[in-house]
Structure 1
């Protein structure tokens, strides 16, 4: 296993709320070596997501997409009670009470979700407490969800009288299927972490005091893999369930060239033969 000199630092970041100086529109971004931590930072309101927060998430993930050495992102909520407990309803009279305003609001959500989903590196949602409404939708844009056994999930928008946007619908349904999504929407129920795991909304569960260790453990495992392989895995699995386009075919061809004519394959095979840990990312001849 790679010994990461910043492993303890990453754990410390995940165990504490971000400094107020880093919070912009209730979202904070911190970097530990080649890992970014993005925190929803409104703990006094269960990290409710405002329109400004969704727009800030778009900005943060657009910026992260340009970070060449980034290996992973952890998305989490501040405070002990929630990942995010849905929309900031207090701003509805100003931002979401007409069809035109709602269209603008839903567009901001859709853009943020796409930015999270399209980031070239893995995005891990670390979920404790409530992941409700927009919070539940946001975790489905991530690649992997690791949740505390005390977490709760749901999209009880029927109690508000709003509709679920198309992008959010697709994001949730691709994980749990249309029927399970309909049950969540029709019932308005909040489900347990165990039930979320059963239906595929969550990939791994951890006891509350072990959640950070579970998340940092996955980050360590990601960093042991070839970055090229991990990025290709995200791209190719993202194509599942839809017809391939000409652009997809070009992307697959490019990924094949990068893998089979790059240095990581040579290093991986050599390391296997020599029974040692591979050191990926070197240029040929180094």
Structure 2
């Protein structure tokens, strides 16, 4: 037998620059020490890490959390939306699966977030931070009106309404991060007389005897004439004796001028 066989075998399993001591056949080297020498030079490959997602990015970044909702009713939102596949070279490359409440739906989207059939829309779930948007203001006679849509930049407003003759201005709008609470209504009566909780009983106004619960017509500037319900009455001041609320529900109760009260025909 070749007396160098042991040396050749060790070199064949050790990496370059590995075991330096020669172990010839018959050397008094304990087997456990030889094993330690070999094992100390074995390189174990690190486990491979999962690749990061690299989905398309446009107006919508599909690598970040997003939601799917009805393009015609953004109150109708899907759940568990996720990317199923990406179709290279397609105008609607991102295939998304989501649940509409009754079944799973598979739809293709472009990077603007529009679906291939126009029925669904995708938007990123943005953190709750203050945002600045822009609206278009139009001149209508002596008054003004604003656009229904919000725009990300002032130039985007100009581009959208460049040929609109009624366009007047682009105005910035700050949207707070959190919902604002409407302050509770406080009806203050700083005039002499009974407080808001008082009810002085029937009052004779403009030829009518009126009391709480009766219906009247009341004119108010910028609101016109509408049917109102009397909530309570008072004695003073004598020109504002009826506390009324419009039946259309579009305004808060108030003390009406007596001269603006007429029968509810």
TM-score range (shorter-chain normalised) is under 0.3
Report the TM-score when normalising by structure 2: 0.21
Report the TM-score when normalising by structure 1: 0.20
Q: Which has the higher helix share?
A: 1
Greater relative contact order structure (CA < 8 Å, 6+ sep): 1
Q: Which has the higher strand share?
A: 2
